[in-house]
Amino acid sequence: MSAKHRVLIAVSGMSPQIITETLYALAVNVTPWIPDEIYIVTTKDGAVKAEMALLRDGRLKALCQDYQFKLPVFDQSHIVVIKDKQGVELNDIRCQQDNEAAADCMTQLLQKFTDDPDTELHVSMAGGRKTMGFHLGYALSMLGRPKDRLSHVLVSENFESLPTFYYPTPQSSILQASGNRLLDARDAQVTLAEIPYIRLRTHLKEDILPPDMGYSDLVRHIDRSLKLGTERLRFTDQGVFVGDRPVPLNASYQAFYRWLAWRCRQSKPPVSFCRGEPNTQWAEECLYHYDQVKGGEADGDERLKKTFTQDKGMTPEYFQEKMSRIKKILEKTLGKGVAVSYLITNLGKRNDAAYGLVLAQKSIVFENGQ
């Protein structure tokens, strides 16, 4: 299902033609993709070029009229000019500080749209300086969702650096090239090269990114999250931790999770329920681990014993409720991509459900008893 709102984001330098070329390629594709809005990230000088060509000279409107599709929303507010740390617009990208400012600008723009579930992005890295295209593509790799696409536009050689060429026209349109050559814009070939990219967003917590997060900060967060998937699951007097990140589980959930981690650590078989009946062994083992946890709940033992006594053991329903809740807490705390390594998993064959952890024994540490 397509998103409600489509946005084309592109970097541009002194050649705003990249916008019309990309839009043309998207519009005449086998499966047309027409954006509702267009945003350009550029320099101060690039912004002047873009405004002159695309707005004042009407190149963007002409393209839409020639190929009879709706004009995307695009005005001066959609031209995002890169600024330095003092808020001064950059004329060009020349030094390390300029590159950092450009990367931060693109990261924050992408975050704004990828945080909105009702948007779908097409990101073009064809324009501007090479570092701008790299940073835009890499920022999308860190923030992009399955529906967001990345591309580069390819133009036939004779028209590639021709300043008067903006898109292949449906009718004859003669352009003058170097050496007094005459070329017809109708003959130009413009194709879209879609670029596959690795999506790392699932390794982030949903609420981890403040609105002003920069490119370097985002890289550090992603790097930490990737390492987190290999860190130890620790049970301590202070609670449950993955590496140094606390997992907010109350005493009963801690005990349940600790019990399954202990079984994994001891190479015991996965937990299953015969014909859906309550199991007294699972209840006794879970109670033992609750005794290890306590969690400041003085009457917790009695409540848990009462539950298991009334049900004649641990029921499949009790097990599923605890497993489901722990899954949600792990995914919210660690991010879905990281959490999958620490989830309680169905290890049974075919229709025989059997549950346990799949962590290596050395990855499970008990610092508060065994």
- 151-177 per-position pLDDT tens digit: 999 999 999 889 999 999 999 999 998
355-356 and 364-366: which strand pairing? unpaired
Amino acid 217: pLDDT: 85
In the prediction, which pLDDT does 179 show?
83
| Span of 130-139, 228-237, 290-299 with lowest mean pLDDT | 290-299
pLDDT above 70 (res 141): yes
Does residue 68 sit in the same domain as residue 177?
A: yes
User: What is the average per-residue pLDDT within 32-58?
Assistant: 95
pLDDT: is 66 or 209 the higher one? 66
More confident residue, 149 or 298: 149
Q: Which is more confidently placed, 192 or 202?
A: 192
Q: What is the DSSP letter of 120?
A: E
Q: Please check whether residues 179 and 30 belong to one and the same domain.
A: yes
Find the CATH number of the domain harbouring 144.
Answer: 3.40.50
Question: Between 354 and 212, whose confidence is greater?
Answer: 354
Shared domain for 294 and 146, answered yes or no, is: no
Q: According to the model, what pLDDT value does residue 271 have?
A: 95
pLDDT of 27 reads 94
d(CA 197, CA 122): 13
Averaged pLDDT, 131-151: 93
Local confidence band at 299 (pLDDT 50, 70, 90 cut-offs): low
| pLDDT value, residue 206 | 55
The residue segments making up the domain with residue 157 are 5-223
pLDDT at residue 350 greater than cutoff 80: no
Domain match, 63 and 193 both: yes
Q: Are 27 and 82 in the same domain?
A: yes
171 and 199 belong to one structural domain = yes
Better-scored residue on pLDDT, 179 or 246? 246
| Whether residues 33 and 142 fall in one domain | yes
SS3 235: strand
pLDDT at 2 over 70: no
Q: Are 22 and 153 in contact (CB under 8 A)?
A: yes
DSSP H helical ranges for 86-162: 96-114, 130-143
Instruction: Look at residue 207 and tell me whether its pLDDT is greater than 70.
Output: no
pLDDT at 18 over 50: yes
Could you say which of 223, 252, 286 is where a domain stops? 223
Indicate whether 158 and 295 sit together in one domain: no
**Are 188 and 247 members of one domain?**
no
The more confident residue out of 225 and 120 is 120
* pLDDT class of 129 with cuts at 50, 70, 90: confident
**Whole-angstrom Cα distance, residue 355 to residue 346?**
5
State the average pLDDT over residues 33-57.
95
Q: Which of 287, 235, 288 is nearest to 261 (CA)?
A: 235
Domain boundary residue, one of 178, 198, 223 = 223
Q: 141: closest CA among 125, 154, 127?
A: 125
pLDDT of residue 205: 59
- Indicate whether 203 and 279 sit together in one domain: no
Q: Are residues 147 and 268 in the same domain?
A: no
Angle at 111 between CA 109 and CA 113, to 5 degrees: 75
| 14 shares its domain with 120 | yes
Q: At what angle do helices 130-143 and 96-114 cross, to 10 degrees?
A: 40
Q: Minimum mean pLDDT among 60-64, 151-155, 219-223: which range?
A: 219-223
List pLDDT tens digits, range 85-107. Answer: 899 999 988 888 999 999 999 99
pLDDT recorded at residue 297: 55
Query: To the nearest whole number, what is the mean pLDDT of the chain?
Result: 89
pLDDT of residue 220: 82
Q: Which residues pair with 261 in a beta bridge?
A: none
Residue 34 pLDDT > 70: yes
How many separate domains does the chain show?
A: 2
Given this model, what pLDDT does residue 152 score?
95
Looking at 164, 190, 223, the residue that finishes a domain is 223
When mean pLDDT is compared across 47-56, 202-211, 226-235, the lowest value belongs to 202-211
What is the largest distance, in Å, between two alpha-carbon atoms of the chain?
A: 94
Q: What is the pLDDT of residue 1?
A: 40
